[in-house]
Structure 1
């Protein structure tokens, strides 16, 4: 126990000296944490698509990636792109982000609704599957046919209507059906439908199944380049020969397709820190090569009519934010949000470093110096006494000196200040000798 008392540094005194300043610093950091650019939420709502669609599968992968950073992504089913767009732009909706097909809106409407784009993710070709003995060479040949374009929430219906218009056709020229994709595929195979129009990534199991179903043909957009000039949000992609099954040579030739892209669209209220996190996930999920895109072609800031958010543009230009390359998402976000507070505290560090050490020294030495006041009062009482009173006063002051000395002997101070303690004790002896000398 005695070894603990005789130390070079007093933790207790340090806490009294540093404590108030540290409490103030902690209070500033805590206040800044909640008031300066609040932290992103840990739960987000994502509008995807129907079961067994590429939208739903990709949304699940996003949920898995974000879960690695303790963010829960709640996935909501929808009819497709148009419904997703409506949900994201609706101020009463809980949806924060979702997949939207390019061509579903325009830049002016998107800005008015507070929509932002995080970029395009993958090609979603227009697949037109049909049953017919003769190959269709033009969309004009769809006139009078039973054509399924999906429910109203599907983005493909709006796009297909635009495609019909440049072929001098209207919806009234075909028999429009609105079955969901799985039901429509079954109806097409059974001969209850003539044409199935859908837009989906190559990952769609339904697309891969139809490409391998005997009797089902795929429309070849031989005028694909012309379509992309008329509709800038469309791209010309090629389904290579044998890509589905090389051994069976499916398909048996190259097919030209026109394709919008799936984009990641959010409301402008989405926290900026989450944008780079979503794009890091997008890079992992969509960055590989597939039937239509090359390695690292996606995600991209192209192919979207909705303005790409500034934070997303920084990601496409510079990659993952610097701090997130070395720290966890939440730690890097904390430092990015608190840099103003931390910079202010850094500026105060120099003056605080000059104030706190003297406070510590004063607290240690004040424990000794206050006894000099007691010694001074002993001398004063003795000096003020008359010659007749001196003997009695001397006895009283000697007792007082004994009491002072006893208390001083129990003072605990760091060894680095022992010189002041021993000086005090020698001065007590000096006063005692003076009192005894006057009474001898």
Structure 2
């Protein structure tokens, strides 16, 4: 049974395809392609970083609230968002300019288009209307901003955009900052001062769903200033818009507020450094659509995020999103897989151009490797023939016998060669040529052994 199995294994070894030879032949090519792909993965349009820093705002501000939402959404895609609290827009711009953060919330009117271009800053889009809220004690009788003279008003720290913006509003009314008793507390301690009646008013800019806004709108003894000339402010100061807080929007049952309030409103914008990875820009703008795309007190469904309402140049990837929607691959794949294919398409095209000529080189190399097993024995066979031809007359019998033994060794080795069936004709041709040389040797040996003819 065992001899039969051994015989069958030899037959299979002779007839089967030779993957080992193909692997040896194509191996260097495969390794070169793999090395090129790996190098391209590292060097051609590097992968996006897994950590990004977002500069937000003060405690209990809308910037802080929305920053946490961005961190949650990007975290689902394996991107860690590190939140950096700040005083507001101006400090966020300073951090972006210094390269200490990657992206931050900035209020419209905080920087000119020329400055943004010079600092290599780009906008990812406007996110939401950010009304200016002027809360006063109820016993303070103020009908217009000129009546604020002499009052104790908190504008917030200089790191926020509110002091710069509100001073422009005051200047439009002919009021100088020196005409007021200004303070620069953060919003939370300033609210405590207002409730304790140690200041007369509090100015800040925030989305209406910020906790501080919600609390002050329903706090007894605190009233909201009505910017009756809001439309005129919007015409005079282009970074402002006219917004209306509708009657009853806070609490319909209690009719809060009891009338429509006119407000002036800049917009909040996501601003990034120009070198922020394009894939992260795509991810942030998609997250913005999910966070800010709904209807609100001052916006309609789908109004935000928007490429409008900002003086900062729009990022190229953000502009593509607003025009065409999310990238094609990200509609059907995970973020990282889509990003991988998006980065590697150049390599795929290059490999296609490389594999085509290589596919014409590898098969001939494979054929040459198989045939070389047969052809190299022709060299041994030629050596035997040369030895026979060069044999001197007195040693011819011995050399013929030695070469016959050598020929038998060659034949035994050739019979052990494992070769695919497609090349069997060349193997059998070699064996036929070995036998031809053997017949010549035997003929010489027979002639030498024959007795010499007797002379007459």
Whether 2:51 is the aligned partner of 1:49: answer: no
2:372 aligned partner: 366
Of 326, 331, 338, which residue of structure 2 is paired with 1:332? Answer: 338
Q: 1:372 to 1:45 in 2, by over 3 A?
A: same
1:165 aligned partner: 171
Q: If you compute each CA radius of gyration, which structure gives the higher value, 1 or 2?
A: 2
Cα distance in 2 between the residues matched to 1:416 and 1:193 = 98
**Per-residue CA shift, 1:27-76, capped at 9, x if unaligned?**
33333333333333222221111232211121122222222332222111
Unaligned runs of 5+ in 1: none
Residue 8 of structure 1 contacts residue 416 of structure 1 at CA under 8 Å; is this kept in 2? no
| 1:303 to partner: Cα distance | 0.6
Whether 2:295 is the aligned partner of 1:289: answer: yes
Residue 123 of structure 1 contacts residue 293 of structure 1 at CA under 8 Å; is this kept in 2? yes
What are the within-5 Å matches in structure 2 for residues 4-153 of structure 1? Answer: 5-6=13-14, 8-90=16-98, 93-133=99-139, 136-153=142-159
Cα distance in 1 between the residues matched to 2:312 and 2:271 = 8
SS at match of 1:301: coil
1:430 aligned partner: 436
**Per-residue CA shift, 1:242-268, capped at 9, x if unaligned?**
222222222222222111111111122
What are the within-5 Å matches in structure 2 for residues 354-433 of structure 1? Answer: 354-385=360-391, 389-433=395-439
Q: 1:16 to 1:251 in 2, by over 3 A?
A: same
Q: TM-score, normalised by structure 1?
A: 0.93
Q: TM-score, normalised by structure 2?
A: 0.90
More displaced 10-residue stretch of structure 1: 331-340 or 48-57: 331-340
Cα distance in 1 between the residues matched to 2:52 and 2:404 = 79
Give the root-mean-square deviation of aligned CA atoms: 2.2
What are the within-5 Å matches in structure 2 for residues 136-285 of structure 1? Answer: 136-285=142-291
2:454 aligned partner: none
Of 349, 356, 361, which residue of structure 2 is paired with 1:350? Answer: 356
Residue 140 of structure 2 contacts residue 200 of structure 2 at CA under 8 Å; is this kept in 1? no
Residue 132 of structure 1 contacts residue 194 of structure 1 at CA under 8 Å; is this kept in 2? no
| 1:387 to partner: Cα distance | 5.7
**Per-residue CA shift, 1:108-162, capped at 9, x if unaligned?**
1112222211111111111111113476431222222111111111211111111
Cα distance in 1 between the residues matched to 2:14 and 2:337 = 41
**Per-residue CA shift, 1:311-330, capped at 9, x if unaligned?**
22112111112233233333
| 1:377 to partner: Cα distance | 2.1
| 1:176 to partner: Cα distance | 0.8
Cα distance in 1 between the residues matched to 2:189 and 2:346 = 57
Residue 59 of structure 2 contacts residue 188 of structure 2 at CA under 8 Å; is this kept in 1? no
Q: 1:352 to 1:148 in 2, by over 3 A?
A: same
Residue 121 of structure 1 contacts residue 264 of structure 1 at CA under 8 Å; is this kept in 2? yes
